[in-house]
Amino acid sequence: MSDFHVKLPLRIDWSEMDLFGHVNNVAYFKYVQAARVNYWELIGMAADFEATKVGPILLSTGCQFMQPLFYPGNIVVESRVEFIKNTSFGIHHRILNDKGELAAEAHDVIVNFDFNKNTKVPLAAKDRAAIEALEQRVF
């Protein structure tokens, strides 16, 4: 059983192909972005941001490419939180191809940010609780 509880299926678009006939590396980051925002929506951070202008901002991201993806095709991006600190948390993503094989892994660091004051702020207890409920574990 996978410990990646959040799964986002996506369709590969023809426009994501490059000169060499496979999905361009930039598209992988687009898939990870979609998964990241999906995660924020699931835990309520996206909705809270709309009301308070306090919410997640991407500090860093990186991707290791294991094998190419091709059009036509579908992928699944699996996501899980790796760590929670005072003002930040990390998300680990796996991009799986149509066969369920690992095509890439990515890691994000997210900071909770007050856009009104232009500063990072502690992660709210309710956000930590929402992550722990979704992840089915305590950090």
Q: Determine the CATH number of domain 6-135.
A: 3.10.129.10
Model pLDDT, residue 2: 73
Angle formed by the axes of helices 25-43 and 125-135, nearest 10°: 110
Report if pTM > 0.75: yes
Give the mean pLDDT per block of 10 residues along the chain (139 residues).
Answer: 90 96 97 98 95 97 98 98 98 98 98 98 97 96
Q: Is 3 helix (H, G, I), strand (E, B) or coil?
A: coil
According to DSSP, residue 17 is labeled B
Handedness of CA 36, 75, 64, 25 (dihedral sign): negative
Q: DSSP for 55-114, please give it.
A: EEEEEEEEEEE-S---SS-EEEEEEEEEEE-SSEEEEEEEEE-TTS-EEEEEEEEEEEEE
